[in-house]
Structure 1
Amino acid sequence: MTTLTSGMASLIAPVPLLATVEPENSPIVLSGVLLSLVVIYLASKLGAEVARNFDFPPVLGELVAGVIVGVSALHLIVFPEGGLSASDSVVMTVLEWINHLSPEALINVFESQSEVVSVLAELGVIILLFEIGLESDLRQLKEVGIQAVVVACVGVAVPFAAGTVGLMMLFHTPAIPAIFAGAALTATSIGITSKVLSELGQLKSKEGQIIVGAAVIDDVLGIIVLAVVASLAKTGEIDVINVIYLIISATAFLIGSILLGGIFNKSFTAIVEKLKTRGNIVIPAFIFAFFMAFLGNAIHLEAILGAFAAGLVLDESDARNELDELVKPISDLLVPIFFVTVGARADLGVLNPAVPENRAGLSIAVFLIVVAIFGKVVTGWAVFGQPGINRIAIGIGMIPRGEVGLVFAGIGSASGVLDKPLEVSIIIMVILTTFLAPPFLRVAFGKPLQPPTTGENLTESSTLPGES
């Protein structure tokens, strides 16, 4: 009986969520995560509803709601990466008051809670890209493949060259910081753009497929550019072998995933037919999606690329329509965490000219914003052989930098390459391009497309998943 009791006690005893968490603090970390999720879900839903009432993409509402609950306003959802402490978090203040935490315990709980929320946000964007892959048409994506490659290459080359040269000539910025800032201009947030396209009913349009394809390629090119400038920042030299490895692995990964799609689909269908318990479709699908995301991460690409490739592959399977419906509720739970946290991390305080250290960055920021917008808008005119295509929409769809741009800024800051004015200017550029693109994309496309008369079940209606 004693053995059984001790065994039961070990089952219900608090298990640390992270290795860095003290066992006695684990329940408090869980409380912080739960309270943060309450704030995130409330903010995302209210923001999406308000945006929808004003005929804006709901994702814009989620981003703005994130700004309101984040570091720029209410300090409900904050993260230590921005130099903030536990005392800056309202959630941590509540937990400290309830649990009478010591300063050391409070710091431990804050860091652990923030890490858990960040991991959930990463899972959210992985699932978002898996869902976008399912909603994309692989055959049509292949048809616009060459155009997508051209758009992506122009979208990397033009802002990178214009940003780097402009900073060096107009602001006398040293070469390596200028190159790093130019590299930050090459980014495109596929998560934000693809979500807006889905909400506007344009994901499967020719423009939408070109944008998504170009954004995926742009992400790969961005990773390669980041590897180049990061090695340049560390050693002053470019690691040619690493660059070649990234190019080969990225190309092989994406093309190989698509070419082997038929084999994967047959195996997936056979497995689904043999499984008879709940989750017989969605669990194997997520095993495949997470494994592909793991492979993408393991070969030093991005997990989201693997998830997107998995969605593209399973889009061709017989169970695609049913799988698409099963993924939506999971997406509804995790994707808002990603968008709200992106907004919560955006510190609009860098726009305040009353702060002396911001002033030098504001003029540079204006230049970077102009380059960031026009450097992507021109990509629409790189499309060839597509008469009547909406070139403005394609260019605008490539504008948002989102989390990808913040990664560039974060690595540049951590490496010590960027001084404060240049770092501030990059952050301002990332924030404004992220928030300007969704409403501009809405204007560029006009009214959402009507569902096709063939009765095809497309998810790119103007309603959000789960809404009628």
Structure 2
Amino acid sequence: MDGLAFYAFAYLAAAVFAVIVSQRLGLGTVVGYIAAGVIIGPVLQVSTAGSDYLEQFSEFGIVMMLFLIGLEIDPQMVWKLRAKLLGLGGLQVAATIGVITVVGTAIGFTWQQSLLFGFIGALSSTAIVLQTLEEKGMLESDGGRASFAVLLFQDFAVIPMLACIPLMAAAGNAAPAGHGSTLIQHLPGWASALLTLAAVAFVVIAGQYLSRPIFRLIALLRLREIFTAMALLLVVAIALLMSAVGLSPALGAFLGGVVLANSEFKHELQNDVEPFKGLLLGLFFMTIGAKIDLGILRDNWLVIFAATLALATIKVVVLLPLAWTFKVRTAAGWLFALGLAQAGEFGFVLLSIGQERQILTGQIASIAILVITMGMILTPALFAIYARIAILIDNRQGQNEADQPDEGTIIIAGVGRFGQIVNRMLLANGHKTVILDYRADVVDDIRRFGIKSFFGDASRPDLLESAGLSKADLLIVAIDDRDRATEIVSHARQQNPNIRIIARAYDRLHHYELLDAGADHIVRELFGSSVEAAGLALQSLGMHPYEVEKRKSIFVDEDVAGLNRMAPLVDQSTRVSDNPTFIAGFKDIGRVIESAMRGERTTYEEIVRRGWSPPELGESHSPPIHTTRAPPAGTEP
């Protein structure tokens, strides 16, 4: 069997199967695409006719990735992270490159090969690390923020790395390989330099003054599909121009993205290019996997395993002291070091260019590909090691003396946007609070305003005890981590049965979890602001302000009463959308609210006769207003 349809089927089927399996195993999509390439290449021996053309086509995924990275550059964000971005990120990249280059040269590689390995080792997997941090709720922690800053710097550092590889190849007298001749190939040095600078200047000027009017015209004409075509045309045109003057297409695309980063069409460009980037980037990783020689894996498995562990060890040795130097403390430092201990997706790009420029042989490149892949596969294990280290640090060392909180009668767990407002209100009314938060920079900022706050994870029992949980009158759980919030409420209720607990709920279902855990009052995080917005909407539609306030009050009263009445219908083992009784009750509550808005009591009295009576005051802790953010299917705030 042959032909375009067969090859398309083979690539797509392998990608779908391998990526789903890889994602389910927690290994990420990159490992899945590489595995798909192994399946269609070395394993099934699918014909590779036209593979050179396919590989060139797939490289546009890298070009589009750099274009999107350029679009993402926000000067305000870069300035805010400048200390960790330039200091921590810059030192990490420079130190890792230096150590790996020295080690590589010492064991017999050329300096060009060793430096290329240093480039690869200095990078980490942005996709895997950020996804894992977000899933574990650690992206806003000290270690998570430091990791994000370093990953962002690594993305920037790829640009000079791409520019250095052709110079390294020329220094090694390697014949530069390419996809065709360039305009500067037969020009004198001064002329080629001028032409190159002119090409870069044209990209900047055209991106600023030529592309915007075209995008604006297309937007006015509402030609949605032509906007997408223009976005792709822009990326391809920049790639062709850069290739024509001997520069990296990815470098040109990055520059074009930076120029358009402040454009009013930024988000539309991102949405249009992202799907193509994902598919082409997946195709690129599949071509990388198809190049893997399973015989090399079989014959060199010990070398590959040792190199993977050596790379992880070198990066931890470099990252951990840097973390401590930049005050990324204790367990957060281990999260930072272990989380970034693998090589990243851009390593495959650098390997591909290095092999194309004849810096690496095919066998060395295959071994390096396997080392990068093994590092990605081991990333979940590294996060598991961090979890064990964090527990040991908590158990053996506890908090530093400077971070031991004073005892207080009011404890606030979490001082983000939600907790800060609560704290300000209490302070304005003469109350003293003890604040606990796991983000050291937030704690330091709040202390500058003279507010007592202490670094630490409020879900740790020993920290709560140090803050005076056993004697406190009130605990306010203001963190936005659903599981940790429930855990804190449960522990506090067990340790101090008399304490009053006010908790922030993620959604309607989380409200019931917190109620079971022992919270006295539960506030659904977006409920109040959502009701306020709805009131403004009614007023904008012509309703009198007095009538708006009256209807807002009715809605809140009926919704809270309905929330209490529906508590017995919740089944934690069944999804809300699969619970017909809960759905029926939810619809009844909607009918009650509609009737109340019209001043009718019939529907409410009918439901009460069927048994929908609110619980007695002594039956449970009475929650007032409760709210959610993005509820699961079948629920609302």
| CA–CA separation in structure 2 for the residues paired with 1:335 and 1:190 | 21
- Which residue pairs with 1:61 in the alignment? 32
What does 1:300-311 align with in structure 2 at a 5 Å threshold?
300-311=246-257
Asked if the contact 2:41/2:289 (under 8 Å) is kept, the reply is: yes
- How many residue pairs align between the two structures? 363
Q: 2:379 is matched by which residue type in structure 1?
A: F
Question: 1:273-294 CA distances to partner (integer Å, 9 max, x unpaired)?
Answer: 3333342432332333333434
Instruction: State the identity %.
Output: 19
- Which residue pairs with 2:165 in the alignment? 226
Residues 153 and 233 of structure 1: is their aligned pair in 2 closer, same or farther, counting only changes over 3 Å? Answer: farther
- Which residue pairs with 2:66 in the alignment? 129
| CA–CA separation in structure 2 for the residues paired with 1:272 and 1:217 | 31
SS in 2 for 1:352: helix
Matched, 1:74 2:13: no
| CA–CA separation in structure 1 for the residues paired with 2:120 and 2:88 | 12
What does 1:231-310 align with in structure 2 at a 5 Å threshold?
231-234=170-173, 267=213, 270-298=216-244, 300-310=246-256
Superposition deviation, residue 65 in structure 1: 1.9
What does 1:9-408 align with in structure 2 at a 5 Å threshold?
32-71=3-42, 73-76=43-46, 91=47, 110=49, 113-134=50-71, 137-144=74-81, 147-150=84-87, 153-154=90-91, 157-169=94-106, 171=107, 173=108, 177-188=109-120, 193-196=125-128, 199-200=131-132, 206-207=145-146, 209-234=148-173, 267=213, 270-298=216-244, 300-353=246-299, 363=303, 368-370=307-309, 372-377=311-316, 378-379=318-319, 382=322, 387=328, 391-392=336-337, 395-396=340-341, 399=344, 402-407=347-352
Residues 382 and 53 of structure 1: is their aligned pair in 2 closer, same or farther, counting only changes over 3 Å? Answer: same
Residues 150 and 63 of structure 1: is their aligned pair in 2 closer, same or farther, counting only changes over 3 Å? Answer: farther
Structure 2 gap ranges (5+): 175-188, 388-480, 483-505, 507-524, 531-629, 631-637
Asked if the contact 1:207/1:394 (under 8 Å) is kept, the reply is: no
- Which residue pairs with 2:440 in the alignment? none
| CA–CA separation in structure 2 for the residues paired with 1:441 and 1:151 | 24
Question: 1:381-416 CA distances to partner (integer Å, 9 max, x unpaired)?
Answer: 54675756752266336555632342365257x46x
Question: 1:232-254 CA distances to partner (integer Å, 9 max, x unpaired)?
Answer: 3219xxxxxx9xx99xx89x969
Superposition deviation, residue 157 in structure 1: 4.0
Superposition deviation, residue 132 in structure 1: 4.5
Residues 370 and 183 of structure 1: is their aligned pair in 2 closer, same or farther, counting only changes over 3 Å? Answer: farther
Superposition deviation, residue 428 in structure 1: 1.7
Residues 280 and 382 of structure 1: is their aligned pair in 2 closer, same or farther, counting only changes over 3 Å? Answer: farther
Superposition deviation, residue 179 in structure 1: 0.7
Superposition deviation, residue 433 in structure 1: 1.7
SS in 1 for 2:35: helix
Superposition deviation, residue 42 in structure 1: 1.2
- Which residue pairs with 1:4 in the alignment? none
Superposition deviation, residue 261 in structure 1: 7.8
- Which residue pairs with 1:83 in the alignment? none
Asked if the contact 1:399/1:433 (under 8 Å) is kept, the reply is: yes
Question: 1:274-317 CA distances to partner (integer Å, 9 max, x unpaired)?
Answer: 33334243233233333343454455443223334444444433
SS in 1 for 2:59: helix
| CA–CA separation in structure 2 for the residues paired with 1:318 and 1:343 | 39
Superposition deviation, residue 129 in structure 1: 3.4
| CA–CA separation in structure 1 for the residues paired with 2:212 and 2:122 | 29
**Relative contact order higher in (CA < 8 Å, ≥ 6 apart):** 1
Asked if the contact 2:98/2:118 (under 8 Å) is kept, the reply is: no
Q: 2:216 is matched by which residue type in structure 1?
A: A
SS in 1 for 2:125: helix
| CA–CA separation in structure 2 for the residues paired with 1:211 and 1:350 | 33
Q: 2:221 is matched by which residue type in structure 1?
A: L
| CA–CA separation in structure 1 for the residues paired with 2:226 and 2:289 | 36
Asked if the contact 1:47/1:65 (under 8 Å) is kept, the reply is: yes
More helix by share: 1
Asked if the contact 1:129/1:304 (under 8 Å) is kept, the reply is: yes
Residues 194 and 291 of structure 1: is their aligned pair in 2 closer, same or farther, counting only changes over 3 Å? Answer: farther
- Which residue pairs with 1:437 in the alignment? 376
| CA–CA separation in structure 2 for the residues paired with 1:297 and 1:179 | 27
Asked if the contact 1:136/1:315 (under 8 Å) is kept, the reply is: yes
Q: 1:181 is matched by which residue type in structure 2?
A: Q
| CA–CA separation in structure 1 for the residues paired with 2:314 and 2:52 | 34
Structure 1 gap ranges (5+): 1-27, 77-90, 93-109, 236-241, 456-460, 462-468
Question: 1:342-383 CA distances to partner (integer Å, 9 max, x unpaired)?
Answer: 221222321323xxxx59xx65x6665455334444257546
Q: TM-score, normalised by structure 1?
A: 0.60
Question: 1:104-154 CA distances to partner (integer Å, 9 max, x unpaired)?
Answer: xxxxxx3xx112211221122223333444456453235435644455654
| CA–CA separation in structure 2 for the residues paired with 1:136 and 1:400 | 19
Question: 1:178-203 CA distances to partner (integer Å, 9 max, x unpaired)?
Answer: 31221221234999934435655759
- Rg: which structure is higher? 2
Superposition deviation, residue 64 in structure 1: 1.6
SS in 2 for 1:279: helix
Q: 1:54 is matched by which residue type in structure 2?
A: L
Residues 52 and 277 of structure 1: is their aligned pair in 2 closer, same or farther, counting only changes over 3 Å? Answer: same
| CA–CA separation in structure 2 for the residues paired with 1:438 and 1:136 | 29
